Amino acid sequence: MNKLTIKLLDFMGENIVLIIMMAAIFFSLQYFHSQESQQLVDLVKQAEIIKFKLALLMEKGA
């Protein structure tokens, strides 16, 4: 093995907990971002439904 590989393995060995924590934080952020995006999509859908219902009510009243 060359020196770079040995240094990389030493770094990973010394900081494995930090690397695992960083990966956990990254994946949890990705998960919560996707959840938030889905909630925004649902909110827009609900707004469109309300707008459609209001248009129907206005049409019936006219």
Q: Tell me, what's the pLDDT at 61? A: 73
pTM across the whole model: 0.54
CA distances from 61 to 48, 53, 55 (A): 20, 12, 10
Q: Tell me, what's the pLDDT at 36? A: 87
Q: What is the pLDDT along the chain (62 residues), one digit of tens a residue?
A: 799 999 989 988 888 988 899 999 999 999 988 888 888 888 899 999 999 998 888 888 76
